[in-house]
Amino acid sequence: MEGLCQHYRFFFAITLQVLLLAGLDLQLSYSSTTTQSFHFNVEWKKVSRLCHTKPLLTVNGEYPGPTIAVHEGDNVEIKVTNNMAMNTTIHWHGIRQLRTGWADGPAYITQCPIRGGQSYTYKFTVIDQRGTLLWHAHYGWQRSSVHGSFIIHPRMPYPFSVPIQSEVPIILGEWWNAEVAAVENEMMLYGGGPNSSDAYTINGLPGPLYPCSNKDTYIQTVEHGKTYMLRIINAALNNELFFAIAKHTLTVVEVDAVYTRPFTTTAIMVAPGQTTNVLFTANRIPDSSGMFVMAVTPYITSIFPFNNSTSVGFLRYSNFRTETSETPFLPRSSAFHNLPEMRDTAFATRFSKKIRSLASPEYPCHVPKKIDKRVITTISLNLQDCPANKTCKGYEDKRFFASMNNQSFVRPLKSILEYHYKNFTAYSLDFPEKPPNAFDYTGVDPVKENMNTEFGTRLLILPYGTKIEIVLQDTGFLNVENHPIHVHGHNFFIVGSGFGNFDAIKDPKNYNLVNPPERNTVAVPAGGWAAIRFNADNPGVWFIHCHLEEHTSWGLAMAFIVKNGPEQSQSLLPPPQDLPSC
């Protein structure tokens, strides 16, 4: 009987998706589903970490922010009220926003910001998605503290049969003693690199390796012999991160809210914006502390100054006798066992290559086998000559910028989506589909080449249903670096990657078109390339950008338009009445 019920639930889910895509305004969904409503108040709160107390931007006074938990197929309404003087927006990272681009959130791309004292209600339906995502502010660097987990519970059983005792969100982040907006403003004013964060955090807590932080330590209690799911989210601003649990093996079962072929690993690498669900069994024997270390440390490919510290939390085995201690301490043995070195590119590469889509009958892999268009874009750091009578603090007294195909993205002062919907023109539809000049992208001299970039708002336009491949090519300007590139409005398949320069003749012969990983954020290898494919079947305006916030601020971004299709169900819905104005 249970199998029959699951069959009908699955049939009903598919029927609902078809009806929603047909443009019908439905409030019904699954038999137990109603609209899920939430209220976010963006506000200041005094928070203490690392011997410092400062006003911190929060949602509902929480850091990290509240968890959004829904079921696939649910209608979601989240009213965001801005209780501060600055502008803000919220992005539901990884939610595909089918025809509801007005709810996507990036400032000046899909909406004007929410002004102080005003509210905006984000409305969308979670269609054919399940798993762990995140939400975060998408205005300036506000996501440093304005972020939280977005959990979509499945309507079908998990595709793995291990009994799970508990599911635990683990949000990895960064803490600045300084005001983050001041760090961003200083960087943009003088064109130098930003100050590094002062600590990494696990669920907002830095742990005992930092000053004044014994009490600010994350501890997860477990029972011996039980299996747990960790929903690991990287909400950090500017760092990819390694995560490991001493002496425990992790089994990866999902990335970016897509089930994967399970595989075991001693650690994971998760880039900003990425999520990874892992299973582990509490089957080890602890020492007299009763605890094992959970550790997070940066994966570093940059030559820029960085925070080279490590944050720790603890697994505490509840059914073992332990020493009494008022504050956590490092267990005497194997404190950082399993944690890779900070520059371990070999581990990061091996880990990424193990990720594969499940590609089962229930969860098929719809990778486009043939494409209509290939776009090759360099992702570069740049040095710009210092303007006359200005002070610049970048390398050789120049300014740091970043670009895609030598275009440094400039956000307009109006919402691009709103202009597109009204057929106004505030941008150019001529984003270059290949680098303006061919060269040895990863073999250039880091500082002697001319790196001046062009500035503007140049968009790529795609007819509805275009099957597109985008090759993201790292360059050696200033430094080869691992760049986490996030695509809004669409999941994509990573069909290939490698080091060096992409070869359009040879490399596609080695693509994986059977079970490539499906994601919303790809970590482009340092000094290499990644090829992603997707079906552009979501009408609207969509942002593509590096999820290292300093790089987005420097212009490592672009946007693309997916035109309406011929059917009503293939067209962007009208804007909501409470859409903020600029």
- How far apart CA 503 and CA 501 sit, in angstroms, is 6
Q: What is the pLDDT of residues 377-424, one digit of tens each?
A: 999 999 999 999 999 999 999 999 999 999 999 999 999 999 999 998
Question: Using CA atoms, how far apart are residues 90 and 495, in angstroms rounded to an integer?
Answer: 30
What pLDDT does residue 28 have? 34
Q: How confident is the model over 194-214, as pLDDT tens digits? A: 899 999 999 999 999 999 999
Closest by CA to 146, choosing from 40, 64, 240, is: 64
Please determine, for residue 104, whether its predicted confidence score (pLDDT) is greater than 90: yes
C-beta of residue 161 within 8 angstroms of C-beta of residue 104: no
User: For residue 302, what pLDDT is reported?
Assistant: 85
Residue 66, pLDDT above cutoff 60: yes
Instruction: Assess whether the previous peptide bond of 64 is cis (omega < 30° from 0).
Output: yes
How is residue 37 written in tokens? 């409503």
| Domain 373-570 -> CATH class | mainly beta
Whether the predicted pLDDT of 39 surpasses 60? yes
Q: What's the rounded mean pLDDT across residues 271-285? A: 97
Angle at 412 between CA 411 and CA 414, to 5 degrees: 125
The proportion of the chain whose per-residue pLDDT surpasses 70, expressed as a percent, equals: 92
- Look at residue 295 in the predicted model and tell me its pLDDT: 97
378-387 pLDDT tens trace? 999 999 999 9
If we measure between CA atoms, which residue out of 95, 346, 385 comes closest to residue 242?
A: 346
| Across 291-312, average pLDDT | 92
User: Would the pLDDT of 9 be above 70?
Assistant: no
Contact residues for 120 (Cβ-Cβ < 8 A; gap 6+): 79, 80, 111, 114, 578, 579, 580
Q: Mean per-residue pLDDT for 438-451?
A: 89
Q: What is the pLDDT of residues 151-186, one digit of tens each?
A: 999 999 999 988 999 999 999 999 999 999 999 999
In terms of phi and psi (left: phi > 0; alpha: psi -120 to 50; beta: otherwise), the region of 459 is beta
Q: pLDDT of 87-97, one tens digit each?
A: 999 999 999 99
DSSP 366-403: ---SS-SEEEEEEEEEEEEPPPTT----SGGG-EEEEE
Q: Write down the pLDDT at residue 319.
A: 79
Structure tokens at 73: 């197929």
For the CA atoms of 197, 200, 203, 206, the dihedral, rounded to the nearest 10 degrees, stands at -100
pLDDT at 323: 54
Q: How far apart are CA 4 and CA 218, in angstroms?
A: 42
Q: Where are the beta strands (DSSP E) in 196-350?
A: 199-202, 219-222, 227-234, 240-245, 250-255, 258-265, 268-270, 275-281, 291-299, 311-317
Q: Which two tokens stand for residue 276?
A: 């990874």
Superfamily holding 160-361: Cupredoxins -  blue copper proteins (2.60.40.420)
Give residues with Cβ within 8 angstroms of 227, minimum separation 6: 162, 163, 164, 165, 279, 280, 281, 282
3-state SS, residue 359: coil
Q: Quickly state the pLDDT bin for 8 (edges 50, 70, 90).
A: very low
Q: Residues spanned by CATH 2.60.40.420 within the chain?
A: 31-156, 160-361, 373-570
Please classify residue 145 by burial: count the beta carbons closer than 10 Å to its beta carbon, then call 0-12 exposed, 13-18 middle and 19+ buried: buried
**Those residues with Cβ within 8 angstroms of residue 245's Cβ, 6 or more apart along the chain or in another chain:** 280, 292, 293, 294, 295, 315, 338
Confidence of residue 448 (pLDDT cuts 50, 70, 90): confident
What span, in angstroms and rounded, lies between the C-alpha atoms of 404 and 453?
A: 9
Domain 31-156 in CATH 3.30.930.10? no
Question: How much is the pTM?
Answer: 0.93
In whole angstroms, how far apart are CA 556 and each of 279, 484, 547? Answer: 35, 11, 9
Please give the DSSP secondary-structure letter assigned to residue 246: T
